[in-house]
Amino acid sequence: MSKEIITVDLHCHPNLKSFNSGQPEPAVNMWEKIYHKMESKFAQTVKGASEQVLKESQANLYLLAEGNVRIFNVSLYPIERGFLHLRNIPKILMGKDRINTLHEVLTGFSAARITHLKKHADYFADLLAEYKYVYDGQGKSPDGKSEFILVNNYKELSQALKRDNTLIGIMSIEGAHALGTGNALDEDLSQAELMNLLSENIKTIKCWEVPPFSINLSHHFWNHLCGHSTSFKPPINAVVNQNKGKGKGITEVGWHVIRELLSRENGKRILIDVKHMSAEGRKEYYNFIYNYNSVNPADMIPVIASHAGVNGFPTIDSSTKENDTGAKNRDHRFHRWSINISNEEARIIHQSKGLIGLMMDRGILGGKKTIDKIVELGDLQKQRREYSKLFWDNAFQIVKSVDDASGWDAIAYGSDFDGTITHMEPYESSAKLPLFHEDLISYLEETGYREELWYGFTPRQLVQKIMHENAMQFYKRFFV
Which amino acid appears at position 423 of this protein? H
pLDDT at 91: 45
Peptide bond into 235 cis (omega under 30): yes
Q: Domain ranges in the chain?
A: 18-173
Please check whether residue 164 is in contact with residue 158, taking contact to mean a CB–CB distance below 8 angstroms.
Answer: no
pTM score of the predicted model: 0.95
Reference 9, options 416, 428, 459; nearest CA is 416
Per-residue pLDDT of the chain (480 residues; tens, 9 = 90+): 456 899 999 999 999 999 999 999 999 999 999 988 777 887 787 777 777 788 899 999 999 999 999 999 999 999 998 888 776 555 445 566 777 888 888 888 998 999 899 888 899 999 999 999 999 999 999 999 999 999 999 999 999 999 999 999 999 999 999 999 988 777 789 999 999 999 999 999 999 999 999 999 999 999 999 999 999 876 676 678 899 999 999 999 999 999 999 999 999 999 999 999 999 999 999 999 999 999 999 999 999 999 999 999 999 999 999 999 999 999 999 999 999 999 999 999 999 999 999 999 999 999 999 999 999 998 999 999 999 999 999 999 999 999 999 999 999 999 999 998 999 999 999 999 999 999 999 999 999 999 999 999 999 999 999 999 999 999 999 999
Residue ranges of the alpha helices (H) in 326-379? 326-330, 343-351, 362-365, 368-377
pLDDT at 103: 80
pLDDT at 96: 64
Q: How far apart are CA 240 and CA 220, in angstroms?
A: 10
Contacts of 436 (CB under 8 A, 6+ apart): 388, 426, 427
Reference 177, options 123, 129, 120; nearest CA is 123
Cross-strand partners of 76: 173
139-140 and 147-150 beta bridge pairing: antiparallel
Q: How far apart are CA 129 and CA 459, in angstroms?
A: 43
- Residue 211 to residues 55, 154, 237, 339, 439, Cα–Cα distance (Å): 31, 14, 34, 27, 36
Three-state DSSP at 47 gives helix
Q: How far apart are CA 173 and CA 273, in angstroms?
A: 9
Contacts of 125 (CB under 8 A, 6+ apart): none
Give φ, ψ of 395 to 5 degrees: -65, -45
